[in-house]
Structure 1
Amino acid sequence: MREMPVFPDLRGFLSWCEARDDYASIAEPVALEHAMTAVHRAVLERGGPVLRFDHPLSGGQNVDMPVVTNLFGTTERVAAGLGVTLDRLDELGAFLASLRAPEPPEGARDALSRWPMLKAALATRPKVMKRAPVQAEVFKDDDVDLGRIPVQTHWPDDAGPLVTWPVVLTRPHGGEANEVNRYNAGVYRAQVIDRDKLIMRWLQHRGGAAHMRSWHTKGEAMPVAVVLGADPATLLSAALPLPETVSELTFAGALAGKRPRVVPAKTIPMMVPANAEIVIEGWVHPDDLAPEGPFGDHTGYYNAAEPFPVMQVTAITHRKDPLYLSTFTGRPPDEPAIIGEVFNRFSLPVIRAQIPEIRDLWLPPAACSYRMAVISIDKRYPGQARRVMMGLWGMLPQFSYTKMIVVVDDDIDPRNWDDIAWALATRMDPSRDVMTLERTPMDYLDFASPEPGLAGKIGIDATNKIGSETTRDWGDVMHTAAKDAKFAEDLLARCLPEVMS
């Protein structure tokens, strides 16, 4: 399915962007404190290019490491990072859905036709390297200094510098360092609090926190690797809502069409991506906590300061002349919202494999990308809309924090607010078609929830009512006849071409 060239590292992807005039360098000095975020945001809102800041300033002093931002600031670049163009996202989603749940071949010809699937599966096996670009420079012990990395302070009331695009690698207790298929890779923000200390903000339901518990119940510190500037497939795999049994690092091999390269870390028993820009190695010790935040978040609000685990850094390794990849989170649009927009389409075949009557779905970026969902279905029986709501909330983890679901018929475009408003106004009765739930899991950062981590959910059935759902005759939707529509098009093309242009 892959149409794009293989991007073995971040630099390969940046070169591809530059060849398309989708990459810009900023030579003027720009402050890491607030100003760089303001520039990035202004460019992202205009659908602009990847940015490279050549002269970042920290406290008025130059930091000798360029900063790259806005990497996934357009849906086209997100799709390219997955290896395809936007118009083939649905095909890629269907292919990966079949890779996750393959059917047995029906004969030799069918088996041969599945060679791309087999090739993708084989690409997930990591290749262990003896030497790696990311370890060209190694700093240990007293030479460790996070201040050499140009970490931004994004918003005026932020508590300090915040790493926002880390791929954080952990593994469960009892596993071996070379068992990369058991690793978890997550994008968890990390606050810099000292030259050799980071605060890891992973919530209790995330993979990193689960691994931490497996180590700490044994009274042992957990090894952690923070990867900065990974290749696009690894970055996007770490952000995807994959099942807990699927390793993001190995899944990245299937996305990239190339076996991932890893190398043993220098001071911890972990494998790390060989072609990354920077790797921070260290340990998280039991009961070593520090207050993290406040920081501006994807909700558009600052979250409160709360205790999270501290990572004691033991080494920083990086390429010669490394690049630091960064982003910001805030009220959409931001990069996470744009990535989420692509993931919606990408995930649809997987969701339809679980709930086949779903025809399309939209998670409005303005609703923080997952707080609200609009679902169109092929409706065939009474109560079907409610069944779909319950299925999404109960079966698919990525919808556990979606607090509002609107279900519409398949004649409604779920991405069109006018269509949604019409369906709500003409097919929904509040006394009959609204379902609410109490005390369900919710994003800890949702300040609207009555209790942290617990909140209600609402489902709205905005479909045509059939059978026992109504006692009234249901209206027929008006449509212009096809021959009349064609007559109008032809007439206007002749008489009022300026209207039709």
Structure 2
Amino acid sequence: MAYKDFRDFLHTLEKEGQLLTISDEVKPEPDIAAANRALNNLGDKTPALFFNNIYGYTDARIAMNVMGSWPNHALMMGMPKNTPLKEQFFEFARRYEQFPVPVQREETAPFHEVEITEDINLFDILPLFRLNQGDGGFYLDKAILISRDLDDPDTYGKQNVGLYRMQVKGKNRLGIQPVPQHDIAIHIRQAEERGENLKVAIALGCEPVITTAASTPLLYDQSEYEMAGAIQGEPYRVVKAKDADLDLPWGAEVILEGEVLAGVREYEGPFGEFTGHYSGGRAMPVIQINRVYHRKQPIFEHLYIGMPWTETDYMIGVNTSVPLFQQLKDAFPNEIVAVNAMYTHGLVAIISTKTRYGGFAKAVGMRALTTPHGLGYCKLVIVVDEDVDPFNLPQVMWALSTKLHPKHDAVIVPGLSVLPLDPGSDPAGMTHKMILDATTPVAPDIRGHYSQPLDSPLGVADWEKKLSQMLR
């Protein structure tokens, strides 16, 4: 099911009726972002957008909303586009357990068609525009950045492939925001402690499987390339960079090679973030670009970010939920049923679990707060019973309405870390977190009156399967 490259996936979207081509002339601002915002307002089955007639450019082509719906997410996994979300979750979890799948190395890649090493001007190479009116400049907002751990360069999993926003600061300069909880911040710190620049590479227009892996909260020593292989069911193809010991996504449209300048900081931002708020301006590291490769007539991919839901919520929904699910199952292998951490990148997480004894669900919530992703996110954890589907919000609201006692079941933990982009953090990067226990009390907790739960009619499961097949 692996896609050859970014263009191969776009072709699949078109064949499946999930790519809408806009041939009318559009202005970079505000038309492209406005069209994407409007599309996101129309539901969770919308297509990708492909703009091929952009005012001010002769041959620029821009793809948007590539992963911006559950049908497109299913197609990324090689599944039928009408696969229900819960099935996508459990299939992703099954493939996650196949990690690692070693990479397949290639000597050359399609992006080697054009190479630029002198007089680099990103404004000429890329069609740049602002996504939101208050953005402080042009951003590469769906850019994969590759860097390597300097203390342990031989451990393959410590080569980081991450998705970060980068502001265009000049013809060959970018600003980057390294959130402290993310791996790139560790690599920058290592380099600056040595007084060295950090070699990096940036890939634009990639197959969605590596974009998915790059936005998955893996453990520090888990390789995103080897996870991409697990997700697609066969080795992921990479090719070596020329200026550094880094692996590049073979199917990318554009590659930028450069280095993070040690000790250099420039103001970056504001930027309309996934929280639905502008992040403000802060002094951030700077990347100098030294080499560019790209395919002839490259397709530039952008990611509209704004008030949820947008493409970013579909792109990082299932792949945020599954690592939390697996890490909680490591701690509670017989109890955890499912995890839904799709809301604002897991700032809210809903966990379905069996309950062994009174107070058990609160312990599950505490463990979620201490997972690698939970440390920077998971501000509100809702724990529900095993028979409550965490992906079915009416069921979750029913559990909150009938099972939660505010006096006993709301646990607030003060002074924990959260990503600084959370607009509710005070100071930035610090917050109180809360666990809501919406499970049925069990001994020795004997509160409430839960001895007469309503049973479903016999045969519901069989009819659910039959009707689902008919509706497809």
Question: What do residues 72-125 of structure 1 show as CA deviations (whole Å, max 9, x unaligned)?
Answer: 01112113223334355355344345435xxxxxxxxxxxxxxxxxxxx5x423
Q: How far apart, CA to CA, are the structure 2 residues paired with 1:399 and 1:362?
A: 17
Worse-superposed segment, 461-470 or 164-173: 461-470
Kept in 2: contact 1:139–1:315 (CA 8 A): yes
Q: How far apart, CA to CA, are the structure 2 residues paired with 1:258 and 1:223?
A: 29
Give the Å deviation of 1:216: 1.5
Matches within 5 A, 1:34-433: 34-46=30-42, 47-57=45-55, 61-62=56-57, 64-85=59-80, 86=83, 88-100=87-99, 121=100, 123-129=101-107, 131-173=108-150, 181-343=157-319, 346-347=322-323, 348-349=325-326, 351-356=328-333, 357-363=335-341, 365=343, 368-398=344-374, 400-433=376-409
Which residue among 7, 14, 27 is the counterpart of 2:3? 7
Give the Å deviation of 1:424: 2.6
Give the Å deviation of 1:364: 5.3
Give, as a single letter, the amino acid of the residue that structure 1 aligns with 2:356: R
Which residue among 439, 442, 445 is the counterpart of 2:421? 445
Kept in 1: contact 2:375–2:417 (CA 8 A): no
Describe the shift of the 1:480–1:228 C-alpha distance in structure 2 as closer, same or farther (beyond 3 A): closer
Worse-superposed segment, 324-333 or 419-428: 419-428
Question: What do residues 111-148 of structure 1 show as CA deviations (whole Å, max 9, x unaligned)?
Answer: xxxxxxxxxx5x4233131x321111011121443442
Describe the shift of the 1:442–1:6 C-alpha distance in structure 2 as closer, same or farther (beyond 3 A): same
Describe the shift of the 1:12–1:253 C-alpha distance in structure 2 as closer, same or farther (beyond 3 A): same
Give, as a single letter, the amino acid of the residue that structure 2 aligns with 1:360: A
Q: Which runs of 5+ in 2 are unaligned?
A: 464-472
Q: How far apart, CA to CA, are the structure 2 residues paired with 1:174 and 1:443?
A: 25
RMSD of the TM alignment (CA)? 2.5
Describe the shift of the 1:93–1:146 C-alpha distance in structure 2 as closer, same or farther (beyond 3 A): same
Q: Percent identity of the aligned residues?
A: 26
Give the Å deviation of 1:10: 0.4
Partner secondary structure for residue 406 of structure 2: coil
Give the Å deviation of 1:478: 4.4
Give the Å deviation of 1:397: 2.7
Give, as a single letter, the amino acid of the residue that structure 1 aligns with 2:222: V
Describe the shift of the 1:482–1:206 C-alpha distance in structure 2 as closer, same or farther (beyond 3 A): closer
Give the Å deviation of 1:332: 0.6
Describe the shift of the 1:477–1:339 C-alpha distance in structure 2 as closer, same or farther (beyond 3 A): farther
Q: How far apart, CA to CA, are the structure 1 residues paired with 2:329 and 2:350?
A: 14
Q: How far apart, CA to CA, are the structure 2 residues paired with 1:7 and 1:465?
A: 48
Larger Rg: 1
Q: Does 1:477 align with 2:452?
A: yes
Partner secondary structure for residue 391 of structure 1: helix
Kept in 1: contact 2:270–2:279 (CA 8 A): yes
Describe the shift of the 1:204–1:346 C-alpha distance in structure 2 as closer, same or farther (beyond 3 A): closer
What is the TM-score normalised by the length of structure 1?
0.84
Kept in 1: contact 2:253–2:299 (CA 8 A): yes
Partner secondary structure for residue 233 of structure 1: helix
Kept in 2: contact 1:51–1:68 (CA 8 A): yes
1:22 corresponds to which residue? 18
Partner secondary structure for residue 209 of structure 2: helix
Kept in 2: contact 1:188–1:200 (CA 8 A): yes
Give the Å deviation of 1:195: 0.9
Kept in 2: contact 1:64–1:148 (CA 8 A): no
Worse-superposed segment, 424-433 or 379-388: 424-433
Give, as a single letter, the amino acid of the residue that structure 2 aligns with 1:309: P
Q: Which runs of 5+ in 1 are unaligned?
A: 101-120, 490-501
Q: How far apart, CA to CA, are the structure 2 residues paired with 1:133 and 1:286?
A: 32
Kept in 1: contact 2:368–2:378 (CA 8 A): no
Kept in 2: contact 1:90–1:349 (CA 8 A): no
Partner secondary structure for residue 165 of structure 1: strand
Kept in 2: contact 1:125–1:259 (CA 8 A): yes
Describe the shift of the 1:237–1:418 C-alpha distance in structure 2 as closer, same or farther (beyond 3 A): closer
Kept in 2: contact 1:9–1:276 (CA 8 A): yes
Question: What do residues 281-303 of structure 1 show as CA deviations (whole Å, max 9, x unaligned)?
Answer: 11111111110101111111111
Describe the shift of the 1:439–1:230 C-alpha distance in structure 2 as closer, same or farther (beyond 3 A): same
Partner secondary structure for residue 29 of structure 2: coil
Describe the shift of the 1:164–1:181 C-alpha distance in structure 2 as closer, same or farther (beyond 3 A): same
Kept in 1: contact 2:92–2:231 (CA 8 A): no
Kept in 2: contact 1:291–1:306 (CA 8 A): yes
Q: How far apart, CA to CA, are the structure 2 residues paired with 1:139 and 1:293?
A: 28
